[in-house]
Structure 1
Amino acid sequence: MSHRDRRLLGTGRIRRRRSAVALGCLLVLASTACSGGSGPTPGPDDRGKAAPGPIVVASGLDVTGSGGVRQQLIKEWNERHADDPALQAKLVELPGGADQQRSQLLGALQSGSAGYDVVNLDITWIPEFAEAGLIRPLSDEDVVDTDVIAEIRRTSVWKGRSYARPFNSDVGLLYYRPDRLNAAGISLARQPTGNWTWADLGASIDTLTANRSRSGVEAGWTAQLDEYEGLTVNTIEAFESVDVQLADEKGHYKASPKSLKEGLEELRQRARKDRILDRAFSSEEPTSLADFAEGRVAFVRHWPYAFGALQNLLPPKDYSVNRLPGASVLGGQNLAVTTDSPRAAGARKLIDFLTSQESERCLLDAGFAATRTSAYDGTAPPCYPRVAEALHSAGPSPSASPDGEGGSWAQPAMMRAGYTFTLSEALKHAVQRPRTPYYGAFTQVLQSHVHAWLTSDGADAEEAAAGLDTALREAFSGH
């Protein structure tokens, strides 16, 4: 299928999805307009006795694996409320990628067919779900929690109202292979720091590729540049690094062909064929991590969970991590109560538990990025003992053989402390993707145009920017 055909197909899907959203708003909202109103109609739990349990939590798959930390936290909650059937909770994990999960949740909440009480939403979906009246705004006393990192807390707010509680966060990081750098003659003093620029990274990549016979790499670095959300993230990071912003706080489009051209040229510089692995343009998270672990590249842009995953693949001396040069995009999920939940009071109590200081420590220990400052500075209470024990039992064993067969390597305490500091600093300086109720349309348009441009030899940046500007202007306006 050609890039043009894929764009046309994507446009058709976007139009059908918007029609479904519009119809859903008419079906679901009796007193709240799709454009946002005074608030959702109170559910049964707000008017009287709550419906029997369980409290159903819908979430994407847990990157910490089967029986991961989210499931362990739900189990801990259930054990603490074993005598109250109405407060028992159940986690439902949705299959597929982010776009598929979003479509499933929208369809389920609009039709009222799934019976979800709590939804774990990607931070980019909050404006859309809030605007459609599918999630409840929080009360005023729930809005401000100064322990939550400020930029993360902002992801739960839309049009001045808070609709969710930050659960786990995410941010782009730069992973690198000291063994490959040392082999190429790049000394420790020249290896990544928190103050690195893309020029610094490019210089090291050039040294690596000029000494392939010594470094053993096929290319300097890789990233997630396939036509999916990873490409959106990498594109926004490039754009933000040259101060190209696509939308204002209210979701209104603000870029121009001139600024888009500058952003595209920055992205092209990062994705130069002489610096990046060829298959980066068809890579998602698992592929890019495997290429890094197998030594095909010395650098990879990846998420925090990769730090935990790498201890199953490499000895600690062979990988390290630092902040990404320039802008780094914020990711993560927030917990919200659905408008039609008949168990809203219990759902709010469950969210309070899942986002507590102890729970955030559990999330950090399991490999997620925590949302609270206290999880990083040591002032938070430790993870719940039963959850900590479950995570420890499922964790890596330090008994691996030297060649990596038969087990995993434990990460030294100093290494983990350094990673925790790096992660907290990256979160404090992270940037957000555009906040708009039309995020699904926006990201599909961006992915389609950018991927076609990156994979077309000799494509003109000015022409690509003009086409992208027209398409984005339409997407942000909801047409």
Structure 2
Amino acid sequence: MSRAPGPVRRGAATVTLLLALLLTAGCDAGGADGGGPPAASGPADVPGEIVLASGRDVTGKGGIRQQLIAEWNRQQEAKGASFRARLVELPGSADQQRSQLLGALQSGSAEYDVVNLDVTWVPEFAAAGLVQPLPDQLVDSDVIKSVAATARWGGKVYAVPFNSDVGLLFYRRDYLTSAGVTNPDLGKGAGWPVVQQLIGVLDSARNKLPAAYAKGWTSQLDASYEGLTVNGIEAFASAAQGFALTDEEGRYAGSAAQLQAGLDELRNRTQAAYTLADAAHSDEADTLTDFAGGRTAFLRHWPYAYRTLHQSLSEQQLGVAPLPGKAVLGGQNLAVARGSQRTGAALELVRFLTRKESERCLLDAGFAATRLSAYEDNGLTCDVAKPAGQATASPTGERTDRMPRDAHGRPAYARATLLPALENAVQRPRTPLYGAFSQTFTGQLARLQGDAPPSDADLAKDLDTELRKALP
């Protein structure tokens, strides 16, 4: 991939060299704490373009990620700096994006300086030496504790949390109201039996619901990608307190007995009596379509669905609550590629994209922010101007995106529902062999969807055997 170097001035080059030296000194101090070589050590940066590779921005074309990068470029231009940043969005599913990034960084075929990694990929990219250790202070106490844990591997920081994610339960208020339920008990602590009971009420009142209604709930249960892994981990973690499939070094730490309890929970959640049949081959987009179209009353999905669904459903129609039991933590973290020739400038870009104001911008746009201040500091605002034609408010000041907001402009559910969900979320297994784990895990769970599914005991025994092979 070619780069288009920006204009180089003698003064700007001098400032750049001084900045690199300062970053080197500052990062040496941070590197001592982190136990690894600092990201900004080495020769001065080569002036030019910083390329950030990422998956699709769920806030749409020209979305908030691109807006943040445009703001950084504007500030660099105002300072006369010789760096600009460019966002490259990788096509395909998350699994395909991971393969593209691995191939590009291992071969050096694509000159990426910053990579936006799914939280499950950090151990793999770190262990393979594809990304650089970073200063510890980049992940400070303002970062939500559960989210901050995704940044480390082997005692070192390798990535900085950019935007987070967590499983949530969306539901149709209007359907429940039609069935006579005006105050559903879906707050913190509500278990899956509560949801099943409400689905039973809806089924009993089917004649009062729209003709489109088919079954109680849907989720991403397609075994051909990460969806079934996420749902499986949520069920397994809900079935056993403190459940973990791997230890701190990424080795398998489960047992057949634990797996059997998790399989029982997953089987209970996905009973045909409650679950839309299409869920078995549905991904995020499919389930959003089914839920928005009225085919189901409950939906397990990620935070960005809050904004998306509110474009077609009103507050009287749409509700959101914590996911029953345990919810899986998702999200993406920014890492600096090992082969970058602009390490210092790349690090400054990461600092900008993950600062407090940027996190507030991400929250306002529909992402889950990674910093506590984005949720709790009422004086914190997004300082990035929206591009022409993409304003979130009309000339009279009335918002046009239809997403409910609180008195301080945050999404209305952010502080009371989203933040606690993030704080209480569980991680998927942290291992450099995550790809092998996920493939093995979903491959075995997919047998539950067959014509002759095995018993929980038999499947647990097989799953235990296969995971020991995948995670030696």
Alpha-carbon spacing, 1:239–1:126, altered in 2? closer, same or farther (3 Å): same
Matches within 5 A, 1:5-404: 46-82=41-77, 83-84=79-80, 86-142=82-138, 144-188=139-183, 190-216=184-210, 217-227=213-223, 228-243=225-240, 244-379=243-378, 381-386=380-385, 389-390=386-387, 393-395=390-392
CA–CA distance in structure 1, aligned partners of residues 321 and 444 of structure 2: 30
CA–CA distance in structure 1, aligned partners of residues 440 and 388 of structure 2: 40
Could you tell me how far 1:365 is from its partner in structure 2? Answer: 0.4
Alpha-carbon spacing, 1:285–1:456, altered in 2? closer, same or farther (3 Å): same
Could you tell me how far 1:215 is from its partner in structure 2? Answer: 3.0
Q: Tell me if the contact between 2:376 and 2:415 (Cα under 8 Å) persists in the aligned partners.
A: no
SS at match of 1:120: strand
CA–CA distance in structure 2, aligned partners of residues 39 and 419 of structure 1: 36
Output the amino acid matched with 2:123: P
Alpha-carbon spacing, 1:375–1:469, altered in 2? closer, same or farther (3 Å): same
Percentage identity across paired residues of the two chains: 50
Q: Tell me if the contact between 2:310 and 2:318 (Cα under 8 Å) persists in the aligned partners.
A: no
SS at match of 2:248: coil
SS at match of 2:411: helix
CA–CA distance in structure 2, aligned partners of residues 347 and 410 of structure 1: 33
Alpha-carbon spacing, 1:391–1:309, altered in 2? closer, same or farther (3 Å): farther
Could you tell me how far 1:396 is from its partner in structure 2? Answer: 8.2
Alpha-carbon spacing, 1:80–1:74, altered in 2? closer, same or farther (3 Å): same
Could you tell me how far 1:462 is from its partner in structure 2? Answer: 1.4
Matches within 5 A, 1:424-463: 424-463=419-458
Alpha-carbon spacing, 1:84–1:444, altered in 2? closer, same or farther (3 Å): farther
Equivalent pairs, count = 427
Q: State the Cα deviation string for residues 200-257 of structure 1 (Å, max 9, x = none).
A: 1111111112322223421111110001111111100000001242112221111122
Could you tell me how far 1:72 is from its partner in structure 2? Answer: 0.3
CA–CA distance in structure 2, aligned partners of residues 106 and 288 of structure 1: 29
Unaligned runs of 5+ in 1: 1-37, 400-406
CA–CA distance in structure 2, aligned partners of residues 397 and 311 of structure 1: 17
Q: Tell me if the contact between 2:447 and 2:453 (Cα under 8 Å) persists in the aligned partners.
A: no
Alpha-carbon spacing, 1:332–1:310, altered in 2? closer, same or farther (3 Å): same
SS at match of 1:187: coil
Output the amino acid matched with 2:188: G
Q: State the Cα deviation string for residues 96-129 of structure 1 (Å, max 9, x = none).
A: 1110000000000001111111010000000000
Output the amino acid matched with 1:91: L
Q: Tell me if the contact between 2:55 and 2:116 (Cα under 8 Å) persists in the aligned partners.
A: yes
SS at match of 1:166: strand
Q: Tell me if the contact between 2:68 and 2:384 (Cα under 8 Å) persists in the aligned partners.
A: no
Could you tell me how far 1:378 is from its partner in structure 2? Answer: 2.2
Give the TM-score normalised by structure 1. 0.85
Q: Tell me if the contact between 1:398 and 1:409 (Cα under 8 Å) persists in the aligned partners.
A: no
CA–CA distance in structure 2, aligned partners of residues 299 and 288 of structure 1: 10
Q: Tell me if the contact between 1:313 and 1:408 (Cα under 8 Å) persists in the aligned partners.
A: no
Could you tell me how far 1:409 is from its partner in structure 2? Answer: 3.7
Task: Tell me the equivalent position of 1:411.
Answer: 404
Alpha-carbon spacing, 1:220–1:358, altered in 2? closer, same or farther (3 Å): same
Q: State the Cα deviation string for residues 314-352 of structure 1 (Å, max 9, x = none).
A: 122110101111100000000011111110000001100
Alpha-carbon spacing, 1:394–1:472, altered in 2? closer, same or farther (3 Å): farther
Q: State the Cα deviation string for residues 70-106 of structure 1 (Å, max 9, x = none).
A: 0000000000001545321111110011100000000
Q: Tell me if the contact between 2:440 and 2:467 (Cα under 8 Å) persists in the aligned partners.
A: yes
Q: Tell me if the contact between 1:209 and 1:275 (Cα under 8 Å) persists in the aligned partners.
A: no
Unaligned runs of 5+ in 2: 1-34
Q: Tell me if the contact between 1:130 and 1:136 (Cα under 8 Å) persists in the aligned partners.
A: yes
CA–CA distance in structure 1, aligned partners of residues 402 and 99 of structure 2: 39
CA–CA distance in structure 1, aligned partners of residues 132 and 390 of structure 2: 37
Task: Tell me the equivalent position of 1:473.
Answer: 468
Q: Tell me if the contact between 1:170 and 1:332 (Cα under 8 Å) persists in the aligned partners.
A: yes
Structure number with higher helix proportion: 1
Alpha-carbon spacing, 1:140–1:426, altered in 2? closer, same or farther (3 Å): closer
CA–CA distance in structure 1, aligned partners of residues 244 and 359 of structure 2: 31
Alpha-carbon spacing, 1:361–1:211, altered in 2? closer, same or farther (3 Å): same
Q: Root-mean-square deviation (CA), in Å?
A: 2.2
Task: Tell me the equivalent position of 2:4.
Answer: none
Give the TM-score normalised by structure 2. 0.86
Q: Tell me if the contact between 2:127 and 2:432 (Cα under 8 Å) persists in the aligned partners.
A: yes
Q: Tell me if the contact between 2:244 and 2:254 (Cα under 8 Å) persists in the aligned partners.
A: yes
Could you tell me how far 1:468 is from its partner in structure 2? Answer: 1.1
CA–CA distance in structure 2, aligned partners of residues 313 and 338 of structure 1: 40
CA–CA distance in structure 2, aligned partners of residues 304 and 457 of structure 1: 35
Q: Tell me if the contact between 2:124 and 2:431 (Cα under 8 Å) persists in the aligned partners.
A: yes
Q: State the Cα deviation string for residues 235-280 of structure 1 (Å, max 9, x = none).
A: 0000000124211222111112221111111000000000010101
Output the amino acid matched with 1:462: A
Output the amino acid matched with 2:433: Y
- Which of 255-264 and 156-165 deviates more? 255-264
